[in-house]
Amino acid sequence: MFKIFRNLRKGDSVEDVAQLNDMLEHKNSFVTTGNGSVEVNFSARLFIAGNPIQGLKMYNMTDLLTKFDPSFVSRLLPYFQNEEHIQMIRESDDETLEQFPYKINNEDFMAFADYLHGFNASWDVQKVRDIYDKYKGGFNPKVADYYDSRLMHHLKCVLDGVIKTRCFFEHDVYFKANDKDYAMLDLILGNLVRSWVSVNDIKFMAKGKRVGYLPEMVRGVYRYLEELCRPFKVNDLGNIPGIIKCNDKNALVILLDNELVLDGDSGYYMWNLVSKQLKLGEEE
């Protein structure tokens, strides 16, 4: 797979990776060599962490789906590190982390992992469906197709791991989902979806959902302007604590582009407070 990645040329849409689909699906298939053929069932788990490949400009889900065969990407569950994640890492302190109290040698741990892979945990299918539906909709066509194709399968795999991890630490032998597991699945999917959405994708969402996907600095500007409860001018942006001048104008451009702020005769208006702010503007 990495050999295919290295051989990419700028601007190409890569279909060769679709050859790896059988490996990623864990289905029975025939492998043929010069010495004959054999039926195999792939069972490896693939976990990759790395930087975007230089020159390919793959910074979000839409870029990834544009560069690679969608059938290949649909078998992966990508996460793109964002600025909020980077800031969380910078502010973290390893000394505050709780130490793992057990000592397990590598062979025993691998045997235990193989055992956990040998059965499925149990959960309420409707609760998983509710979490799936919560984040569905409002994507650009490429990401929407990815979401519809295999994401429910990925969610079940993630939940299976969440349940087994919790049960391992809590000595729970029943491997059945509880409220904490569903809350964790919701948190994980929310973070994944936010990492897929670029600033250019937000406009595809319902306006009520767009604010949560804005960059953190832009969200701060939005909340400040919302609390003004009146039409505002560009000069008002200079009064926002912690926002430097070049950033406040960039934030306004993003808010205007996503129709969360509207340009009017008496200034700018918040999309959800237009009637109220117009009335206040007339009174002033």
Task: Find all residues with CB under 8 Å of 65, minimum gap 6, and list them.
Answer: 73, 142, 143, 146
Kindly indicate the confidence band of residue 124, based on its pLDDT and cuts at 50, 70 and 90: very high
Q: Examine the pLDDT at 199 and tell me if it is beyond 80.
A: no
The whole-angstrom separation of Cα 128 and Cα 120 is 15
Our measurement of the distance from residue 87's CA atom to the centroid of its chain's CA atoms, rounded to an integer in Å, reads: 17
User: Residue 57 corresponds to which tokens in the numbers above?
Assistant: 């400009």
Specify the higher pLDDT residue, 124 or 56: 124
Full set of structural domains in the chain with CATH: 1-76 (no CATH), 84-198 (no CATH), 207-283 (1.10.10)
Residues 155-165, mean pLDDT to the nearest whole number? 96
Question: Which pLDDT belongs to residue 284?
Answer: 45
Give pLDDT tens digits for 270-284. Answer: 887 765 544 444 444
Mean pLDDT for the stretch of residues 102-128: 91
Tokens of 226: 């919302």
**Cβ(192)–Cβ(134) under 8 Å?**
no
Strand 261-264 vs strand 36-41: parallel, antiparallel, or unpaired?
unpaired
Rounded Cα–Cα distance for residues 37 and 240 (Å): 68
pLDDT digits (tens, 9 = 90+) for 31-57: 788 888 888 877 767 788 877 666 667
Residue 102: how many other CB atoms lie within 10 Å: 8
Backbone angles phi, psi at 170, to 5 degrees: -100, 5
Could you tell me how far CA 48 lies from the centroid of its own chain? 15
Q: How do residues 224-243 score in pLDDT, each as one tens digit?
A: 888 887 788 888 887 777 66
For residues 255 and 261, what is the distance between their CA atoms, to the nearest angstrom?
Answer: 5
Q: Work out the mean pLDDT of the chain and round it to a whole number.
A: 82
Q: Say how far apart CA 8 and CA 53 lie, in whole Å.
A: 10
Q: How far apart are the C-alpha atoms of 5 and 73, rounded to whole Å?
A: 13
Supply 262's token pair.
């509207």
Identify the residue whose tokens are 């945990």: 121
Q: How far apart, in whole angstroms, are the C-alpha atoms of residue 18 and residue 199? A: 29
Instruction: Tell me the C-alpha distance between 230 and 275, whole Å.
Output: 10
Name which of 102, 32, 25 is nearest 71 in CA terms: 25
Q: Are 132 and 185 in contact (CB under 8 A)?
A: no
Residue 60 phi, psi dihedral angles, 5° rounding = -155, 180
pTM (2 d.p.) = 0.76
The pair of structure tokens assigned to 155 is 């969610």
Question: Would you say residue 16 has pLDDT above 90?
Answer: no
pLDDT band at 96 (very low <50, low <70, confident <90, very high): confident
The pLDDT value recorded for residue 145 is: 94
Give me 2's structure tokens: 């990495």
